[in-house]
Chain A
Amino acid sequence: MSAHAQRNIHVRPEIQRPVSNTFILVSVLAALFLNGLPWEGIWLMLRPDFVALVLLYWCMHKPWRLGIGLSWAVGIFADVADASLFGQHALAYTVLAFGGVVLNHRLQMFDLRQQTIQVFGILALTYAVYALVHWQVNGYVVWLYFLGCLTSTLLWTPLCIMFQAMRQMRVDRE
């Protein structure tokens, strides 16, 4: 499965593969839904940030469709959903989107494993921005919060393969 998907990446460049607006919208809503599930205690610490992953995926693959501006807007909605300060998620996701857009240029040079390392860097930066804002406003940081960054990175490869397969299915149908 993964070998197949990886071969596809090399056979057909990402940029040429079509994607509908509905698919992007549904994926973002699904991510907001997954983030909103009643996670508690240690599971809350381990929860991957699905919204960040989905935004990063689209910023890397279709930066002209879902770029920094829309990521910021999604961040504002995440702020309302999480009752965090206005702009806290938005700032983190803006940094994330910038990382994704920069990585878009390098996308064709790397395979999934090499991508994952870079993705970890971007996610760590995103989490750090969020924690930094919190530290500035409230004066303390919960270090276990950064565990979520690791689980998010682990989820990157499955997410990529899944999205590629779904997009490929669409291409095949047409």
Chain B
Amino acid sequence: MDNTQSFRFFNRGPSPLVRLVFFAVLSLLLLFVDARYRYLESTRSAMSILVSPIQRLAALPGALWQLAGDFYITQGRQHSLIAENDELHQQHQLDAAQLLQLQTMQAENQQLRNLMALPLSNELTAQLVEIAYAERDVFKRRVLVNKGENGNVRVGQVVMDDIGIVGQVTRVYPWLSEVTLITEKDHAVPAQVLRNGLRTIVFGAGDTSQLSLRYMPVSADIQIDDMLVTSGIDGIYPPGIPVAKVVAIERDPAYPFARVTCLPVAGVDRHRHLLVLSEMAKLPERPLERPVSVDADKRAKTRRKN
């Protein structure tokens, strides 16, 4: 084994151990900068242009498979297709009738809001996107969709399907954008119980497709099958869109909070087409809490004690 060492006629540069330490430190430095400060987003999007040909090529077999499936459906089972078409026609007519009602109600609502001198609730427009790649990291619940800066997608926009909230745009590349699903660990959505208006926050669980409500008092008025909709608080998620349904409640008096488990309403792991909603109107800035007020609080408390 030592013989191979003596065969080195030329200087080969630093030893493997030195290289290991150098590159490990470099990686750790990058990790720190990326995790803490997110300075490297432009580098990432530049490099993604280099990687995207391979990604596109890799997505091809799946796309071909889907195409073959579509072909089989259109060619092989025509009867079901006709039936489905009829069904959709009926559905469309029903929806059209409801839409007419909605329009009159919207006009009425606007008039009432005018009368009450309330600011208009802004209308949202949606952009249809298709999932290009599913996340390849076991740890994360994200998908990449096929519109990025070219489609005017911005970080923070809300993504939904036809039923409910799916996630939020967290990173935008030139031609793609990354959507973090609501089931991602610690992803929070401000929500409201539809039945009684109770405000809460829905958190993702990360390792399963479930959601949970944290910090719900044991005595909170919440029941199985309660629907949770977005509350619109914080101005990121538009109000009134379904998020989740409560499936299990565990009230253990030993803990201060009840364990509430929910399942997402939308097909978070199912569809290929999603809607990206336009950004909501900016809320006025949240006033900063000045340290002076803390002193004032303390003074007030001490006064009360005295």
Contact = CB atoms under 8 A, between A and B. Distances in A.
B47 A142 contact: no
Contacts of A36: 54-55, 57-59, 133, 136
Interface residues of B, number: 48
Nearest to A92: B27
Contacts of B43: 86
A33 B185 contact: no
A68 B19 contact: yes
B20 interface: yes
B58 A80 contact: no
B139 interface: yes
Interface of A: 29, 32-40, 44-45, 63-64, 67-69, 72, 75-77, 80-88, 90-91, 94-95, 97-98, 101-102, 105-106, 109, 133-134, 137-138, 140, 142, 144-145, 148
A82 B142 CA distance: 11
A63 B12 CA distance: 11
Interface of B: 1, 4-5, 12, 16-17, 19-20, 23-24, 26-31, 33-35, 40, 43-44, 47-48, 50-51, 54-55, 57-59, 61-62, 133-140, 142, 144, 171, 178, 185, 206-207
Given A83-B135, A102-B16, A29 B24 contact: no
A81 B43 CA distance: 13
A85 B48 contact: no
A83 B144 contact: yes
B24 A83 contact: no
Contact of A98 (B20, B29, B144): B20
A91 B137 contact: no
Contacts of B40: 86
Given A37-B62, A44-B138, 17 more contacts: A35-B136, A38-B58, A38-B133, A69-B19, A83-B140, A83-B144, A83-B178, A85-B30, A86-B40, A87-B31, A90-B26, A90-B30, A94-B20, A97-B20, A109-B1, A133-B31, A137-B35
A106 B26 CA distance: 28
B185 A87 contact: no
B161 to A, nearest CB: 18
26 contacts: A33-B58, A37-B62, A38-B62, A63-B16, A68-B20, A80-B44, A83-B135, A83-B140, A85-B31, A85-B34, A85-B35, A86-B34, A87-B34, A90-B23, A91-B23, A91-B24, A91-B27, A95-B20, A98-B17, A98-B19, A102-B16, A138-B139, A140-B207, A142-B138, A145-B139, A148-B138
A91 B30 CA distance: 10
Interface of A (DSSP majority class): helix
A77 B51 contact: yes
B54 to A, nearest CB: 5
Given A33-B57, A36-B58, A77 B50 contact: yes
A125 to B, nearest CB: 12
**In the A-B complex, the 4 residue pairs with the closest CB atoms:** A36-B58, A87-B30, A91-B27, A87-B27
Given A38-B58, A86-B40, A105 B1 contact: yes
Nearest to B171: A83
B62 A105 contact: no
A150 B61 CA distance: 25
Contacts of A94: 20, 23-24, 27
A82 B136 contact: yes
A85 B35 CA distance: 7
A134 B137 CA distance: 11
Contacts of A82: 136-137
Contact of B12 (A32, A64, A86, A105): A64
Contacts of A44: 136, 138
Given A45-B138, A106-B1, A142-B139, A33 B23 contact: no
A105 B2 CA distance: 9
A82 B58 CA distance: 13
Give the most central of B55, B134, B137, B142: most A CB within 10 Å: B137
Contact of B134 (A38, A85, A134): A38
Contacts of A40: 134
B100 to A, nearest CB: 41
